[in-house]
Chain A
């Protein structure tokens, strides 16, 4: 237990430093451009980049939250941040720390290359948007993009 919190704290501290999270002034520009506002009806401060940055600065338990798995890692927040804080890098490092621990409950793995390639809330959003498509479509969509391209190659050359 102590071991876990030690390595995790170290990783989170490293993440905060490399993403520049300490520079956040809570201006909210990242929230304004964040596509998550259009994707999720339950978009709230906990899921927003500003909220995640704030929670990370205060509490290491943010790594266990489901809130960090909604982000699409688009980096739009980083582009507009006046302090140069990279919300994407922070969320990515938090996710990597959780994945390194072996937790897979928030991610989808590609059945072909066994790599983690998308967070479940994001993938669920895409599925909901494509719900009018016939079910065969989702067989291809279960693969990660590089495997999808390779499958297309195999089927057509």
Chain B
């Protein structure tokens, strides 16, 4: 007699039949990003002719039937605007999560496909999609979703105004190579090689000094030395030209924080009442006021950049108490990346003030930005100033340049060239984000 199996042994779940595969990013993606194809749409060129719908429907059915297309032209009569809705092949597709039969999957080529063998046309993918891109054919009831025509999109070829373009995304992430090199060099020079370091550097006639230190100097000593002020101006001038690029590319403490940021896997986050960007201006004011009151440069003694340059290098390796400052403040990284730079650094504060006069800005152009389907810029920004909530709502965010450290990680990461540097007076299209 055959032994009767336990009921549990016979049950199969969807996990057994079609296990979910989680793709992990390999090492090669450090410089060579995965090139996922995508359609870009320019609403300024679209006339609402509907040719894209007509030609797409010939692929889904055997005849021209715009309502059977995988792309939909949405027309707003009141605002006199047209737009086309199609599958964005998101990096983290919500439709795949919602499909009860796991008919949707994202291939290695990045294309999200519906396996018609398992699709029941329930339409839950449309309910889950932020743009409601999977379209229900009113006639047959089938769900049609863009599959990029397996590499040669018909709509792109046939759009009479070239409003639709097909892109595979950028080939190389080169900015990070240059930036890490500059950071390592600057760290090496400022901490180990040069004496006088970041706080005050003098080589013959050339002298550079920290603006925050200079302010504290003026406050504590009560005298203004012109050469001191002009030395401090160098860093401020650099900020006016290139934003807080000192913070992103030169600061040795920033380099330590960036290194820690790559090693620490998951960040715990701060409670929201601690997360005020104005605190660092308060610390700046406190540093200057404290210097005035105490008669010596109050903050400079505990400045992580200063102590890093002084205690860890050539000058003297064992200035005991100072050694603890760098690890203590660097441990803030556990909560958020560059926590020190975001909320506390008075040098960053004064550079932030200088950047209000800055001539450049980083914009995320709405035309090329893939918004909710990508969100890589928000994930990679160390200062956390790219609003992921805006992106998920389908709006390209604006970047506050007083907080931006011009590390250009967003520009490096953006596969579609949406994130770019522009002069402040250059207009971005469309002009302002509409919430």
B94 is contacted by which of A75, A133, A148 (Cβ under 8 Å)? A133
| A134 B132 Cβ-Cβ under 8 A | no
When each residue 84-112 of chain B gets 1 if its CB lies under 8 Å from chain A and 0 otherwise, what string results?
01000000001001101100000000000
Assembly CA distance A140 to B126 (angstroms): 12
| B83 A157 Cβ-Cβ under 8 A | yes
Task: Check: B81 CB closer than 8 A to any chain A CB.
Answer: yes
Task: Check: A141 CB closer than 8 A to any chain B CB.
Answer: yes
Of residues A126, A154, A155, A157, which shows the largest number of chain B Cβ atoms within 10 Å of its Cβ?
Answer: A157
Interface size on B, residues (CB 8 A): 38
CB distance from A132 to the nearest CB of B (A): 8
Task: Check: A122 CB closer than 8 A to any chain B CB.
Answer: yes
Assembly CA distance A75 to B371 (angstroms): 33
Task: Check: B421 CB closer than 8 A to any chain A CB.
Answer: no
Of residues A34, A72, A155, which shows the largest number of chain B Cβ atoms within 10 Å of its Cβ?
Answer: A155
Task: Check: B130 CB closer than 8 A to any chain A CB.
Answer: yes
Residue of chain A at shortest CB distance from B141:
A75
4 shortest A-B CB distances, which residue pairs? A145-B132, A74-B122, A153-B83, A72-B122
List chain A residues, Cβ under 8 A from B128.
126, 129-130, 141
Assuming the A-B contacts A153-B83, A156-B366, A157-B81, are A38 and B130 also in contact, with contact meaning beta carbons closer than 8 angstroms in the complex?
no
Assembly CA distance A150 to B75 (angstroms): 8
List chain B residues, Cβ under 8 A from A155.
393-395, 433-434
| A152 B82 Cβ-Cβ under 8 A | no
Assembly CA distance A149 to B85 (angstroms): 7
List chain A residues, Cβ under 8 A from B417.
none
| B123 A74 Cβ-Cβ under 8 A | yes
CB distance from A156 to the nearest CB of B (A): 6
CB distance from A18 to the nearest CB of B (A): 16
| A126 B98 Cβ-Cβ under 8 A | yes
| A157 B100 Cβ-Cβ under 8 A | no
| A39 B43 Cβ-Cβ under 8 A | no
Residue of chain B at shortest CB distance from A145:
B132
Assembly CA distance A106 to B17 (angstroms): 33
List chain B residues, Cβ under 8 A from A33.
120
B:1-46 near A, CB below 8 Å: 14, 43
Q: 7 A-B pairs, CB-CB below 8 angstroms? A: A74-B141, A118-B127, A125-B124, A145-B127, A148-B132, A150-B76, A157-B83
A:131-145 near B, CB below 8 Å: 133-134, 136-137, 139-141, 145
Task: Check: B195 CB closer than 8 A to any chain A CB.
Answer: no
Residue of chain A at shortest CB distance from B132:
A145
**Apart from A35-B101, A126-B127, 12 more pairs, CB < 8 Å:** A38-B100, A72-B123, A125-B100, A126-B128, A136-B389, A140-B130, A140-B392, A152-B85, A155-B394, A155-B395, A155-B433, A156-B371
CB distance from B263 to the nearest CB of A (A): 25
When each residue 120-160 of chain B gets 1 if its CB lies under 8 Å from chain A and 0 otherwise, what string results?
11111011101110000000010000000000000000000
| A76 B76 Cβ-Cβ under 8 A | no
List chain B residues, Cβ under 8 A from A125.
98, 100, 124
| B121 A149 Cβ-Cβ under 8 A | no
Task: Check: A123 CB closer than 8 A to any chain B CB.
Answer: yes
Interface residues of B (CB under 8 A from A): 14, 43, 72, 74, 76, 79, 81-83, 85, 94, 97-98, 100-101, 120-124, 126-128, 130-132, 141, 366, 371, 388-389, 392-395, 430, 433-434
Task: Check: A84 CB closer than 8 A to any chain B CB.
Answer: no
Interface residues of A (CB under 8 A from B): 33-36, 38-39, 72-76, 118, 122-123, 125-126, 129-130, 133-134, 136-137, 139-141, 145-146, 148-157
Assuming the A-B contacts A157-B43, A157-B430, are A38 and B76 also in contact, with contact meaning beta carbons closer than 8 angstroms in the complex?
no
| A145 B98 Cβ-Cβ under 8 A | no
Assuming the A-B contacts A75-B141, A129-B98, are A154 and B120 also in contact, with contact meaning beta carbons closer than 8 angstroms in the complex?
no
CB distance from B268 to the nearest CB of A (A): 17
Assuming the A-B contacts A38-B14, A75-B141, A126-B98, are A154 and B124 also in contact, with contact meaning beta carbons closer than 8 angstroms in the complex?
no
Residue of chain B at shortest CB distance from A157:
B43
Assembly CA distance A133 to B395 (angstroms): 17
Assembly CA distance A154 to B83 (angstroms): 9
List chain A residues, Cβ under 8 A from B94.
130, 133, 137
Assembly CA distance A155 to B396 (angstroms): 9
A156 is contacted by which of B98, B100, B101, B394 (Cβ under 8 Å)? B394
List chain A residues, Cβ under 8 A from B83.
149, 152-153, 156-157
Assuming the A-B contacts A129-B128, A140-B130, are A134 and B392 also in contact, with contact meaning beta carbons closer than 8 angstroms in the complex?
yes
Of residues B43, B127, B371, which shows the largest number of chain A Cβ atoms within 10 Å of its Cβ?
Answer: B127
List chain A residues, Cβ under 8 A from B130.
137, 140-141, 148, 152
List chain B residues, Cβ under 8 A from A149.
72, 74, 83, 85, 131-132
